[in-house]
Amino acid sequence: MISRGVAVLLMGLMVLYKAAQLSPPQDAVLPADTATTCTRIRLRDGRYLAYRERGVARERSSYKVIVVHGFGSSKEMNFQAPQELIEKLGIYFLLFDRAGYGDSDPNLKRSTKSEAYDIQELADQLKLGPKFYVIGVSMGSYPAWSCLKYIPQRLEGVALVVPVVNYSWKSLPENLTRLDFRRKLIQWTLWLANYTPELLYWWVTQEWLPSTTFVEKNPIFFNNRDIDVLKKDPGFPMLTKDKLRRRQVFDTLLNDFMVSFGKWEFDPLDLSNPFPQNDSFVHIWQGYEDKVVPFQLQRYVSGKLPWIRYHEITDGGHLIVHYKGVCEAILWALLNGEHLPEKMTTAITLH
Protein backbone atom coordinates (compact mmCIF):
# COMPACT_ATOMS: atom_id res chain seq x y z
CA MET A 1 0.00 0.00 0.00
CA ILE A 2 2.81 2.40 0.87
CA SER A 3 4.74 1.61 -2.29
CA ARG A 4 1.72 2.33 -4.48
CA GLY A 5 1.14 5.61 -2.66
CA VAL A 6 4.74 6.72 -3.07
CA ALA A 7 4.57 6.02 -6.80
CA VAL A 8 1.54 8.27 -7.10
CA LEU A 9 3.17 10.93 -4.94
CA LEU A 10 6.27 10.92 -7.12
CA MET A 11 4.07 11.77 -10.06
CA GLY A 12 2.62 14.56 -7.96
CA LEU A 13 6.11 15.89 -7.30
CA MET A 14 6.68 15.94 -11.03
CA VAL A 15 3.64 18.17 -11.29
CA LEU A 16 5.20 20.61 -8.82
CA TYR A 17 8.30 20.66 -10.95
CA LYS A 18 6.28 21.29 -14.08
CA ALA A 19 4.63 24.30 -12.46
CA ALA A 20 7.87 26.23 -12.49
CA GLN A 21 10.02 24.77 -15.25
CA LEU A 22 8.26 24.98 -18.58
CA SER A 23 9.56 26.26 -21.86
CA PRO A 24 8.07 29.62 -22.83
CA PRO A 25 5.03 29.35 -25.07
CA GLN A 26 5.72 30.06 -28.71
CA ASP A 27 3.96 33.43 -28.61
CA ALA A 28 5.58 34.58 -25.35
CA VAL A 29 7.26 37.96 -25.21
CA LEU A 30 10.52 37.90 -23.28
CA PRO A 31 11.17 40.68 -20.79
CA ALA A 32 12.69 43.78 -22.25
CA ASP A 33 16.09 45.31 -22.09
CA THR A 34 19.60 44.52 -22.48
CA ALA A 35 21.74 41.64 -21.45
CA THR A 36 20.62 38.74 -19.36
CA THR A 37 23.36 37.89 -16.90
CA CYS A 38 24.05 34.94 -14.66
CA THR A 39 26.63 35.04 -11.92
CA ARG A 40 27.04 34.18 -8.23
CA ILE A 41 27.44 35.86 -4.88
CA ARG A 42 29.12 34.44 -1.80
CA LEU A 43 26.91 34.34 1.27
CA ARG A 44 28.13 34.97 4.79
CA ASP A 45 28.19 31.24 5.56
CA GLY A 46 30.48 30.60 2.58
CA ARG A 47 27.90 29.16 0.20
CA TYR A 48 27.55 30.51 -3.34
CA LEU A 49 24.16 31.58 -4.67
CA ALA A 50 23.66 31.89 -8.43
CA TYR A 51 21.32 34.47 -9.89
CA ARG A 52 20.02 35.83 -13.17
CA GLU A 53 18.82 39.35 -13.98
CA ARG A 54 16.10 40.17 -16.50
CA GLY A 55 13.84 43.06 -17.40
CA VAL A 56 15.03 46.66 -17.39
CA ALA A 57 18.43 47.55 -15.99
CA ARG A 58 18.57 47.54 -12.20
CA GLU A 59 19.82 51.13 -12.07
CA ARG A 60 16.88 52.59 -13.98
CA SER A 61 14.12 50.33 -12.67
CA SER A 62 11.11 51.54 -10.71
CA TYR A 63 10.19 48.11 -9.37
CA LYS A 64 12.53 45.34 -8.23
CA VAL A 65 10.93 41.89 -8.24
CA ILE A 66 12.54 38.70 -6.91
CA VAL A 67 10.99 35.55 -8.43
CA VAL A 68 11.35 32.34 -6.38
CA HIS A 69 11.26 29.09 -8.31
CA GLY A 70 9.60 25.89 -7.15
CA PHE A 71 10.42 22.20 -6.83
CA GLY A 72 12.99 20.94 -9.31
CA SER A 73 13.24 24.26 -11.11
CA SER A 74 15.92 26.95 -11.30
CA LYS A 75 16.66 30.55 -12.14
CA GLU A 76 15.92 29.62 -15.77
CA MET A 77 12.20 29.32 -15.03
CA ASN A 78 9.87 31.33 -17.21
CA PHE A 79 7.83 34.21 -15.90
CA GLN A 80 6.60 35.88 -19.04
CA ALA A 81 5.11 39.34 -19.37
CA PRO A 82 4.67 41.70 -22.32
CA GLN A 83 7.69 43.83 -23.11
CA GLU A 84 5.47 46.90 -23.28
CA LEU A 85 4.33 46.42 -19.67
CA ILE A 86 7.87 45.82 -18.38
CA GLU A 87 9.19 48.94 -20.11
CA LYS A 88 6.20 51.05 -19.13
CA LEU A 89 6.44 50.18 -15.44
CA GLY A 90 10.23 49.81 -15.35
CA ILE A 91 10.38 46.28 -13.89
CA TYR A 92 13.65 44.60 -12.94
CA PHE A 93 13.52 40.83 -12.33
CA LEU A 94 15.94 38.88 -10.15
CA LEU A 95 15.76 35.10 -10.38
CA PHE A 96 18.10 32.83 -8.42
CA ASP A 97 18.89 29.18 -7.85
CA ARG A 98 17.75 28.23 -4.38
CA ALA A 99 20.22 26.23 -2.28
CA GLY A 100 21.34 23.07 -4.09
CA TYR A 101 19.60 23.92 -7.35
CA GLY A 102 21.35 24.88 -10.58
CA ASP A 103 24.62 26.64 -9.87
CA SER A 104 23.99 27.31 -6.17
CA ASP A 105 25.69 25.39 -3.37
CA PRO A 106 23.61 23.05 -1.20
CA ASN A 107 22.57 24.06 2.29
CA LEU A 108 22.52 21.07 4.61
CA LYS A 109 20.90 23.32 7.23
CA ARG A 110 18.10 24.52 4.97
CA SER A 111 15.04 25.79 6.84
CA THR A 112 12.16 28.13 6.21
CA LYS A 113 14.22 30.85 7.91
CA SER A 114 17.37 30.23 5.85
CA GLU A 115 15.36 30.58 2.63
CA ALA A 116 14.17 34.05 3.68
CA TYR A 117 17.63 35.20 4.73
CA ASP A 118 19.17 33.92 1.48
CA ILE A 119 16.76 36.22 -0.34
CA GLN A 120 17.56 39.15 1.91
CA GLU A 121 21.32 38.70 1.57
CA LEU A 122 21.06 38.38 -2.20
CA ALA A 123 19.04 41.61 -2.34
CA ASP A 124 21.56 43.41 -0.12
CA GLN A 125 24.62 42.31 -2.08
CA LEU A 126 22.98 43.45 -5.32
CA LYS A 127 21.93 46.72 -3.66
CA LEU A 128 18.23 46.44 -4.43
CA GLY A 129 17.42 48.96 -1.76
CA PRO A 130 15.49 48.81 1.51
CA LYS A 131 12.44 47.10 -0.01
CA PHE A 132 11.59 44.77 -2.88
CA TYR A 133 8.77 42.58 -4.21
CA VAL A 134 8.69 38.78 -3.98
CA ILE A 135 6.80 36.33 -6.19
CA GLY A 136 6.83 32.68 -5.09
CA VAL A 137 5.62 29.99 -7.51
CA SER A 138 4.27 26.62 -6.32
CA MET A 139 6.80 25.20 -3.82
CA GLY A 140 8.68 28.48 -4.13
CA SER A 141 5.85 29.87 -2.01
CA TYR A 142 7.29 28.60 1.27
CA PRO A 143 10.31 30.94 0.97
CA ALA A 144 7.79 33.72 0.25
CA TRP A 145 5.79 32.87 3.38
CA SER A 146 9.10 32.87 5.25
CA CYS A 147 9.84 36.38 4.02
CA LEU A 148 6.50 37.49 5.43
CA LYS A 149 7.49 35.97 8.77
CA TYR A 150 11.17 36.89 9.09
CA ILE A 151 11.81 39.96 6.92
CA PRO A 152 8.44 41.74 6.51
CA GLN A 153 10.18 45.12 6.84
CA ARG A 154 12.00 44.44 3.56
CA LEU A 155 8.90 43.69 1.52
CA GLU A 156 7.12 46.03 -0.84
CA GLY A 157 4.56 43.38 -1.79
CA VAL A 158 4.22 39.61 -2.19
CA ALA A 159 2.45 37.30 -4.66
CA LEU A 160 2.03 33.58 -4.04
CA VAL A 161 1.15 31.70 -7.23
CA VAL A 162 -0.58 28.32 -6.70
CA PRO A 163 1.23 28.13 -3.34
CA VAL A 164 1.76 24.70 -1.86
CA VAL A 165 -0.12 24.23 1.42
CA ASN A 166 1.64 22.40 4.25
CA TYR A 167 -0.78 19.97 5.87
CA SER A 168 1.10 20.24 9.18
CA TRP A 169 -0.07 23.83 9.73
CA LYS A 170 -1.98 23.57 12.98
CA SER A 171 -4.59 26.11 11.94
CA LEU A 172 -5.90 24.05 9.02
CA PRO A 173 -9.27 22.52 9.92
CA GLU A 174 -9.45 18.74 10.07
CA ASN A 175 -12.60 18.64 7.95
CA LEU A 176 -10.68 20.09 4.97
CA THR A 177 -7.66 17.79 5.22
CA ARG A 178 -8.77 14.52 6.81
CA LEU A 179 -9.83 12.80 3.59
CA ASP A 180 -7.33 14.53 1.28
CA PHE A 181 -5.21 11.79 -0.32
CA ARG A 182 -2.36 14.29 -0.80
CA ARG A 183 -1.96 14.58 2.95
CA LYS A 184 -1.42 10.84 3.41
CA LEU A 185 0.97 10.60 0.47
CA ILE A 186 3.08 13.43 1.83
CA GLN A 187 3.14 11.81 5.25
CA TRP A 188 4.34 8.53 3.70
CA THR A 189 7.11 10.24 1.82
CA LEU A 190 8.26 12.21 4.86
CA TRP A 191 8.40 8.98 6.84
CA LEU A 192 10.50 7.29 4.17
CA ALA A 193 12.76 10.35 3.89
CA ASN A 194 13.38 10.42 7.64
CA TYR A 195 13.82 6.71 8.30
CA THR A 196 14.76 5.02 5.04
CA PRO A 197 16.15 7.61 2.58
CA GLU A 198 18.18 4.94 0.77
CA LEU A 199 15.01 2.99 0.07
CA LEU A 200 13.38 6.12 -1.29
CA TYR A 201 16.42 6.79 -3.49
CA TRP A 202 16.27 3.22 -4.80
CA TRP A 203 12.56 3.55 -5.43
CA VAL A 204 12.58 6.72 -7.49
CA THR A 205 15.40 5.51 -9.76
CA GLN A 206 13.72 2.26 -10.79
CA GLU A 207 13.08 1.79 -14.50
CA TRP A 208 9.63 0.31 -13.98
CA LEU A 209 8.14 3.43 -12.41
CA PRO A 210 5.55 5.30 -14.53
CA SER A 211 7.11 7.43 -17.23
CA THR A 212 6.71 11.19 -17.41
CA THR A 213 4.70 10.69 -20.58
CA PHE A 214 2.10 8.88 -18.51
CA VAL A 215 2.12 11.69 -15.97
CA GLU A 216 1.69 14.39 -18.59
CA LYS A 217 -1.45 12.76 -19.94
CA ASN A 218 -2.93 11.92 -16.56
CA PRO A 219 -6.11 13.88 -15.75
CA ILE A 220 -5.58 13.09 -12.07
CA PHE A 221 -3.07 15.94 -11.95
CA PHE A 222 -3.96 18.24 -14.87
CA ASN A 223 -7.00 19.97 -16.21
CA ASN A 224 -7.51 20.59 -19.91
CA ARG A 225 -5.66 23.92 -20.01
CA ASP A 226 -2.68 22.41 -18.18
CA ILE A 227 -2.51 19.60 -20.71
CA ASP A 228 -2.51 22.14 -23.54
CA VAL A 229 0.48 23.83 -21.90
CA LEU A 230 2.27 20.50 -21.47
CA LYS A 231 1.95 19.70 -25.17
CA LYS A 232 4.46 22.47 -25.86
CA ASP A 233 7.02 21.16 -23.39
CA PRO A 234 9.53 18.33 -23.94
CA GLY A 235 9.13 16.70 -20.53
CA PHE A 236 10.59 16.66 -17.04
CA PRO A 237 14.36 17.08 -17.43
CA MET A 238 15.05 17.50 -13.71
CA LEU A 239 13.16 14.33 -12.83
CA THR A 240 14.52 11.95 -15.42
CA LYS A 241 16.07 8.74 -14.13
CA ASP A 242 19.52 9.95 -15.20
CA LYS A 243 19.19 13.20 -13.23
CA LEU A 244 17.70 11.51 -10.16
CA ARG A 245 20.58 9.01 -10.07
CA ARG A 246 22.88 11.94 -9.37
CA ARG A 247 22.90 11.89 -5.62
CA GLN A 248 23.24 15.67 -5.28
CA VAL A 249 20.10 16.18 -7.37
CA PHE A 250 18.15 13.63 -5.35
CA ASP A 251 19.38 15.04 -2.03
CA THR A 252 18.47 18.60 -3.03
CA LEU A 253 14.95 17.63 -4.08
CA LEU A 254 14.43 15.57 -0.94
CA ASN A 255 15.82 18.31 1.30
CA ASP A 256 13.55 20.92 -0.30
CA PHE A 257 10.51 18.65 -0.03
CA MET A 258 11.16 17.89 3.64
CA VAL A 259 11.42 21.57 4.56
CA SER A 260 8.38 22.52 2.52
CA PHE A 261 6.14 19.85 4.03
CA GLY A 262 7.85 19.29 7.39
CA LYS A 263 7.29 21.12 10.66
CA TRP A 264 7.66 24.87 10.27
CA GLU A 265 8.81 27.24 12.97
CA PHE A 266 5.60 29.24 12.44
CA ASP A 267 2.06 28.92 11.17
CA PRO A 268 1.26 31.32 8.30
CA LEU A 269 -2.28 31.70 9.56
CA ASP A 270 -0.87 33.35 12.69
CA LEU A 271 0.95 36.06 10.73
CA SER A 272 0.07 39.71 11.13
CA ASN A 273 -0.56 42.08 8.26
CA PRO A 274 2.89 43.15 6.99
CA PHE A 275 1.32 46.25 5.46
CA PRO A 276 -0.91 47.70 8.23
CA GLN A 277 -1.22 51.01 6.40
CA ASN A 278 -2.63 49.17 3.36
CA ASP A 279 0.05 50.77 1.23
CA SER A 280 0.74 47.39 -0.35
CA PHE A 281 -0.74 43.89 -0.41
CA VAL A 282 -0.16 40.14 -0.38
CA HIS A 283 -1.82 38.22 -3.20
CA ILE A 284 -2.68 34.55 -3.70
CA TRP A 285 -3.34 33.31 -7.23
CA GLN A 286 -5.10 29.97 -7.53
CA GLY A 287 -6.73 27.81 -10.18
CA TYR A 288 -10.23 26.58 -9.41
CA GLU A 289 -9.41 23.30 -11.18
CA ASP A 290 -5.97 22.89 -9.56
CA LYS A 291 -5.54 19.17 -8.79
CA VAL A 292 -2.26 19.57 -6.92
CA VAL A 293 -3.38 22.17 -4.35
CA PRO A 294 -7.15 22.21 -3.63
CA PHE A 295 -8.80 25.60 -4.04
CA GLN A 296 -10.75 24.96 -0.83
CA LEU A 297 -7.52 25.22 1.19
CA GLN A 298 -6.47 28.45 -0.51
CA ARG A 299 -9.89 29.97 0.11
CA TYR A 300 -9.63 29.02 3.77
CA VAL A 301 -6.15 30.52 4.14
CA SER A 302 -7.10 33.79 2.45
CA GLY A 303 -10.34 33.93 4.43
CA LYS A 304 -8.42 33.70 7.70
CA LEU A 305 -6.00 36.40 6.58
CA PRO A 306 -8.20 39.28 5.39
CA TRP A 307 -5.16 41.30 4.34
CA ILE A 308 -4.57 38.82 1.50
CA ARG A 309 -6.14 39.56 -1.87
CA TYR A 310 -7.34 36.29 -3.37
CA HIS A 311 -7.58 35.72 -7.13
CA GLU A 312 -9.08 32.52 -8.52
CA ILE A 313 -9.01 31.59 -12.19
CA THR A 314 -12.20 29.75 -13.09
CA ASP A 315 -10.74 27.28 -15.59
CA GLY A 316 -7.22 27.29 -14.16
CA GLY A 317 -5.18 24.28 -13.08
CA HIS A 318 -1.82 24.18 -11.32
CA LEU A 319 0.01 25.65 -14.32
CA ILE A 320 -1.75 29.02 -14.42
CA VAL A 321 1.58 30.90 -14.40
CA HIS A 322 2.00 29.67 -18.00
CA TYR A 323 -1.44 30.78 -19.22
CA LYS A 324 -1.53 33.75 -21.53
CA GLY A 325 -2.15 36.98 -19.65
CA VAL A 326 -1.75 35.60 -16.11
CA CYS A 327 1.78 36.88 -15.44
CA GLU A 328 0.71 40.28 -16.71
CA ALA A 329 -2.23 40.24 -14.31
CA ILE A 330 -0.04 39.13 -11.40
CA LEU A 331 2.38 42.01 -12.01
CA TRP A 332 -0.38 44.55 -12.50
CA ALA A 333 -2.08 43.64 -9.21
CA LEU A 334 1.19 43.36 -7.27
CA LEU A 335 2.87 46.55 -8.44
CA ASN A 336 -0.14 48.82 -8.80
CA GLY A 337 -1.97 47.63 -5.71
CA GLU A 338 -5.19 47.99 -7.64
CA HIS A 339 -7.96 45.75 -8.82
CA LEU A 340 -7.37 44.51 -12.35
CA PRO A 341 -8.80 46.31 -15.37
CA GLU A 342 -12.04 44.72 -16.57
CA LYS A 343 -10.54 43.63 -19.90
CA MET A 344 -7.80 41.76 -18.04
CA THR A 345 -10.15 39.93 -15.67
CA THR A 346 -12.28 38.90 -18.61
CA ALA A 347 -9.29 37.56 -20.53
CA ILE A 348 -8.22 35.23 -17.71
CA THR A 349 -11.73 34.41 -16.42
CA LEU A 350 -11.37 35.29 -12.76
CA HIS A 351 -14.03 34.38 -10.22
| pLDDT per residue as tens digits for the range 177-236 | 988 888 988 999 899 899 998 888 887 777 655 544 444 556 677 888 988 887 776 544
187 falls within a domain: no
Domain assignment of residue 43, given as a range: 12-172+262-347
- Residue 28 binned pLDDT confidence (cut-offs 50, 70, 90): very low
Percent over 90 (pLDDT), the chain: 59
Q: Looking at residue 249, what is its pLDDT?
A: 87
> Tell me, what CATH number does 276's domain have?
3.40.50.1820
109 falls within a domain: yes
Q: Looking at residue 207, what is its pLDDT?
A: 65
Provide the whole-model pTM. 0.87
Q: Looking at residue 208, what is its pLDDT?
A: 57
210 falls within a domain: no
226 falls within a domain: no
194 falls within a domain: no
- Residue 78 binned pLDDT confidence (cut-offs 50, 70, 90): confident
232 falls within a domain: no
Percent over 70 (pLDDT), the chain: 79
Count of structural domains, the chain: 1
251 falls within a domain: no
Mean pLDDT, residues 171-176? 92
99 falls within a domain: yes
Q: Looking at residue 255, what is its pLDDT?
A: 94
Query: Is the per-residue pLDDT at 303 higher than 80?
Result: yes
3-class SS string, the chain: CHHHHHHHHHHHHHHHHHCCCCCCCCCCCCCCCCCCEEEEEECCCCCEEEEEEEECCHHHCCEEEEEECCCCCCCCCCCCCCHHHHHHHCEEEEEECCCCCCCCCCCCCCCHHHHHHHHHHHHHHCCCCCCEEEEEEHHHHHHHHHHHHHCHHHEEEEEEECCCCCCCCCCCCHHHHCCCHHHHHHHHHHHHHHHCHHHHHHHHCCCCCCCHHHHHCCCCCCCHHHHHHHCCCCCCHHHCHHHHHCHHHHHHHHHHHHHHHCCCCCCHHHCCCCCCCCCCCEEEEEECCCCCCCHHHHHHHHHHCCCEEEEEECCCCCCHHHCCCHHHHHHHHHHHCCCCCHHHHHHCCEC
Query: Is the per-residue pLDDT at 283 higher than 90?
Result: yes
